[in-house]
Chains A and B, each alone.
Chain A
């Protein structure tokens, strides 16, 4: 489903990634690990085509980085859910509206949007916080809203960039359990993290280790 073939990508003149080759299949759970600045985020950005390789290519289903047109990128992003360390929720709207935004951009009907947003917010355990704004929610709850926003569009993969970076250990574990639960329903998950303690929380997950822009090991 996701293929990196001989990918080189430099980001802002810093070392990005070099000669990256790996693939992720549907329904897999993958950890991308390595120290800060190793190139984990670059790899995620290459997947949602916020960055493009200078050499090689990235293929996500039928989207190819070497041939994709600008106007096709939004359609790719509707198939890829994203979760960030800083949540990136819109502070001027509540949890429901933040999640619904994903469906409005994909031109869903209001009745369908309502049904799916309530469903997914219940799924992440926030059925009782629907009308709360981000600043009224805890860090863990905000990240759950971000996961709901990624999940609601039924993506083929969810990319999580240091999703527990701003959360305490207990909440981090709860969040990993939630991602694991989502994965069990068939959605592939790629988590970029330098927190190695999270890895045992997902038995059977694949591990791709990166250092200085290169893949060190794949297990």
Chain B
């Protein structure tokens, strides 16, 4: 028998759900997890940014509500409490502010619907989890918003579920290719041993070359100079993000043989699938200091814009394209 979505995340104490686009089925996946978790398990829920509205404020389509069980914990913005129809027990208030008021921690004294709007800053989201553990949560689920590949660090959650679907593009091929690309980026190998080699970094460093020795560089011009001179650099660490423009320049001026480009985490790898292919073709590679476990990919064959996919075909093709379990969000 096939594994359910819950089976795939059972061993992770905290996880995030990220989406390739609006209406990719994030909330459906979240509801599935809520329904399939054991009755006695205390779930804690929050989101980055806002989620759980009846209609999507961007596409104006009907969205599923988050329906939670009595005893669950959730963190949401003060002004959204009136849209949560569970009987509420206010547990604590935080200093984390959102456009909808500060974030409040609540226990559901009954089953019911909630709207989540947690902190929109990753660091603050990290601050929330200790509250939940202290309140007795067994598992934390963070509803990530769309395009937030920033939920890619273990600091926040042990694993992530990536949701994708027909709303991404009219073309199934394109949806699959882009999902495959995101999947590759999220699965960029972790190089934890580099952490100690890179730090400490001289102030104002943007790039670090690791070869026979460590060289800290403040800008692109200095990097260009040094890459020419340095024989066989093994790693190039970028303090900020890796962009297409940067990669283009590097490849045009002669990509050093065997060089691996490293960023802090996958959210800093802002490159297109074309460029990633080119990079791989010339023997280059990517690495991150911190990765996240990609537990599963869920697919939604229904599009909010009317161009639905054939579910069987979509699932088969996606399964062939990615090295992680693929589940239809409506059947998992």
Are chains A and B native binding partners rather than an unrelated pairing? Answer: no
Using a CB–CB distance below 8 Å, which chain A residues touch chain B?
none
Using a CB–CB distance below 8 Å, which chain B residues touch chain A?
none
